[in-house]
Each structure stands twice: as C-alpha cells, then as structure tokens.
Structure 1
C-alpha cells in the first residue's frame, strides 16, 4: 500500500485470503477497454515492458518484450 511518499507491504494479519472480502484496501481503480492495447513497464532490467490487450471475448493476452539485458 502506498501512503504519501512511503509504502508498506500488506502481509501477516493484514493480508486476506482471496475472496474473503472482509476488509477493503485502498486501490487505484483502472478500467481497461476491450480491444485496446496497453503497455506496462516493470522494475526488472531484463524486461522492457509488457503489452497486453483484452480481446472481444474478455480474454487477457500478454506479450513480454525482453530488453536483452543479461541477468548476470
């Protein structure tokens, strides 16, 4: 969870089993449009980013774009 400039992990007693719905944690709501390409960057130097699209049937299709950087 991000709070101002800091962040904390949600673990231990704060973490809920999936589907329990007993506590709602603050999230950044994002609605994805069908048939629209999206590009996400992550903090892994081996990965430039991930392209994904939600097709007409609602299926998520992901395509990893490697950076070519060696993990060593």
Structure 2
C-alpha cells in the first residue's frame, strides 16, 4: 500500500478547504487519490492549522424538572 503524496498543490488545497471550515472527511474526498480522513488530520496537525473556529453547536435547551409527587 502506498501513501498519497503531499504535493504543493494538495497542501495548498488542504489549507484553503480547512480554513473554509470543511471537515477532514470532506477534504479527503475532494483531494481524492488515496488521501484519507486520517491523513488530512495528520497533515493539518503537522502544518499547525488546527486553530480554526469550532463548528457551531445547536443551542442546548433545558426544561424545568417535573414536580415529584410525595
């Protein structure tokens, strides 16, 4: 099994897509050619690109507790 080669073009595309907020899975699919999600995550880590905004989380709704009967 051979690993996908990180060419300058691929690294550039990775940086662009990562900063746009795409997931590692989406980026791997876009790059193709044997690039896996884990390969994207590893390269992002080695490039020091992990400092992007976290995806928005849905608002957590809390409900009042129901009164308990004695």
Q: Where on the TM-score scale, by shorter chain, does this alignment land: which range?
A: under 0.3
Structure with higher RCO (Cα < 8 A, 6+ apart) = 2
TM-score scaled to structure 1, two decimals? 0.26
More strand by share: 1
> Please, what TM-score do these two structures have when normalized by structure 2?
0.26
Of Structure 1 and Structure 2, which has the larger fraction of its residues in helix?
A: 2
